[in-house]
Amino acid sequence: MSGIRVRTEGRAGRLTLDRPQALNALTWDMVRAIGAALDRWADDPAVALVLIDAAGERAFCAGGDLAEMYRTARAGDYDYGRRFWADEYRMNARIAAYPKPVVALMQGFVMGGGVGIGCHAGHRVAGEDTRVAMPECAVGLVPDVGGSWLLARAPGRLGEYLGMTGTRMGPADAIACGFADRFVPRAAWPELAAALCAGGDVAAIGALAQPPGPAPLLAERARIDRLFGLDTAAAIAEAAAAEGWAGAAAALAGNSPLSVCCALALVRGARRVDTLPEALGLEYRFTARSAEHGDFVEGIRAAIIDKDRRPRWRHRALAEVSEADIAAMLAPVDGAPDFAV
């Protein structure tokens, strides 16, 4: 099918994202194809493991097909996005709970929907060029696809920092923060894929893995914990600016204020639930409302459609976002899907 190659090779069920010209952005058809393949292989004795990789050098998957969501939302069809996210989140939960080993080889950009495919796998391989991020607040969304669950389990307050600013992680940071497991040099990936397919044994990863080197984010841990442990997004932004932390202050000031405030609430909310499906359910509360009541349509317009990088957010500053605004976006949704596998 267009956008993804599904096949078996040796002992492996193979899923290769194949839209390199679009940084392997995830379409609804791709979501459904992944789900169908996982269902088919779960009870197939010939398939010992699932291997997920991607075509091209620049990206494993840089996110979802936001242009189509923009088009439908602009036409007043808010249900399209809700149905897409429902299917996507079910697929994310399926990967995380899969009864067979799932290996993800994640090169280049691993963002948004790419995190949902790759970073819930049981065996997540990063290379030299891997760059993992949850940049949704920049387009009026929040870290979703189970990203809040992963962020909530990063050391200290790194989850709040990464989710609110969209900061990119290299391979060592991705491993330190729980978004990847092993570092294998890209030059060894063809050998690794061949070994996984031939033997159906994830021990092949350990045979080729190397130390990832130092994790720069851990060196910033004390400051991140102190500032991003504050009670509100506005207080965090004010403290970052007061300390002259220009990068964090600029990211917080540029992203959707509503999204940043809700991202903070979601990461902290994900620490209080026990399962990934529960975290996905909390995320869905926001995404289901994001086009009609949030900044999603304007964020996509500014970043992808018009590319003027001048979004007109519903709130001019973080301090303008009230507790009532946050509660309204994160209230339970009538008839919400169940993401339990």
What positions carry a catalytic annotation?
Answer: 64, 113, 136, 144
Cα of 274 vs its chain's centroid, Å: 19
180-214 core/surface letters (b: 16 or more CB in 10 A; e: else): bbbbbebebbeebbebbbeebebebbeebbeebee
Nearest-10 Cα torsion for 233, 238, 242, 248: 40
33: its two tokens: 């194809």
The two most distant CA atoms of the chain are separated, in Å, by 59
161: its two tokens: 């920092």
Is the distance from CB of 142 to CB of 287 less than 8 angstroms?
Answer: yes
Beta strand 102-106 with 123-126: parallel, antiparallel or unpaired? parallel
- For residues 38 and 240, what is the distance between their CA atoms, to the nearest angstrom? 44
C-alpha triplet 263, 303, 314: angle, nearest 5°: 55
286-316 core/surface letters (b: 16 or more CB in 10 A; e: else): bbbbbbeebbbbbbbbbbeeeeeeebebbbe
Nearest to 210 by CA among 191, 190, 186: 186
